[in-house]
Amino acid sequence: MKRRPRPSPALRLAVRAGAGAAIGAAVAVPLIRKRLRIPAPVTVAACACGPLGIAVLAPRSRKRDVAMFALQMWGFIMVHELPFDNPERLRSRLRSGYPIVTDRIIGAGSLPSTRLQRRLARMPGVAVFNRVITWTHWLWFFEPYVALATIMLRHNRRFPKSARQLAAIFDIGCAVYFAVPTAPPWWASEQGLTGEEVRRIMVEVGEETWGSAWPKMYDALGGNPWAAMPSLHFATSVSAAISLSEAGKVEGTLGWAYASTLGFGLVYLGEHYVTDLAAGALLVAVVRRGEPLVEPLVRTVSETLQRLERIASG
């Protein structure tokens, strides 16, 4: 069998330097973009190239898969806040009416969030219930990644597909945040747009739980308040539940228990409309069903990265 010619040292150095620069830009550009007034499209492109740089430089392994996903999530966290750089311009495109209309249809004339809050307010022990549901919400910052870690450690061959689907859900959802900025029910209620009160119970519990530290915690984690459609909280928890179900019965039961509780909590807490949750579930279906359709493109990108990987490794 004819051996491939070895790449020249200059080409190898150029490929490695380019991949390293892509990784560095993915980390650095989001941190300096405001100070240097870097345009949003440049920031998005820099974040998108980072995981590709890791694919070129690092040999195929579990560690590389984890590093690529971690850098992709770093990019999502940085990019999903970009629309809120200019709140006035974003607010001029803000959509508030359509989820109110659809949720009123679902709630038979009243918002499901309002119905749940009014009904459960009379329940004995509602303060404890509110804390439990709020903590379920807060745990979302860890749950999708704990699910992926479980799959990686116990069902490693399923990890690349699960991580790829979860990353696609985050990325497509982020694109919708740019295209259709939508206000959550608590915000619409504060602006008098719902015609009925929707409390933001999470903030009430946060103030009680964390006291004077709460404002700083909220500012650090609050992000873009108009990124409600679709509900990525629900979409990613459903995706994690499906992946866990494919891995095992016990894992799947735990995953679906969390996703169901979170879905209820998001509506009850006033964080999302039922419409947002439905859109999140639809997004999961689109990603899973659409994966075979984009397989030729994925294969082409993968083959290109493999060629660059061979050059970089010499």
223-263 per-position pLDDT tens digit: 678 888 999 999 999 999 999 998 889 999 999 999 999 99
Q: What's the pLDDT at 122?
A: 87
3-class DSSP state of 219: helix
- Are 225 and 182 spatial neighbours (Cβ–Cβ below 8 Å)? no
Angstrom distance (rounded) from CA 108 to CA 73: 38
Q: Mean pLDDT over all residues of the chain? A: 90
Grade residue 156 by pLDDT with cuts at 50, 70 and 90. Answer: confident
Give per-residue pLDDT as tens, 1-55.
456 677 788 888 899 999 999 999 999 999 999 999 999 899 999 999 999 999 9
3-class DSSP state of 200: coil
Return all residues near 191 (Cβ < 8 A) that are at least 6 apart: 96, 183
In the predicted structure, residue 276 carries a pLDDT above the cut 80:
yes
Grade residue 135 by pLDDT with cuts at 50, 70 and 90. Answer: very high
- Are 158 and 243 spatial neighbours (Cβ–Cβ below 8 Å)? yes
**Which sign does the torsion angle of CA 206, 210, 215, 217 carry?**
negative
CA angle (300, 11, 297) in 5-degree steps: 5
3-class DSSP state of 93: coil
- Across residues 72-95, what is the average pLDDT? 86
Q: What is the DSSP letter of 97?
A: H
- Are 130 and 124 spatial neighbours (Cβ–Cβ below 8 Å)? no
Place of tokens 């392994």: 61
Exposed/middle/buried for 1, CB within 10 Å: 0-12, 13-18, 19+?
Answer: exposed
Return all residues near 242 (Cβ < 8 A) that are at least 6 apart: 255, 284, 288
- Are 184 and 228 spatial neighbours (Cβ–Cβ below 8 Å)? yes
What pTM was computed for the model? 0.87
- Are 184 and 271 spatial neighbours (Cβ–Cβ below 8 Å)? yes
Give per-residue pLDDT as tens, 171-211.
999 899 888 999 999 999 999 999 899 999 999 999 999 98
Q: What is the DSSP letter of 227?
A: B
In order of 60, 95, 165, 183, 200, the CA distances from 148 in angstroms are: 18, 33, 11, 30, 30
Picking from 207, 190, 191, 208, the residue whose alpha carbon sits closest to that of residue 199 is 190
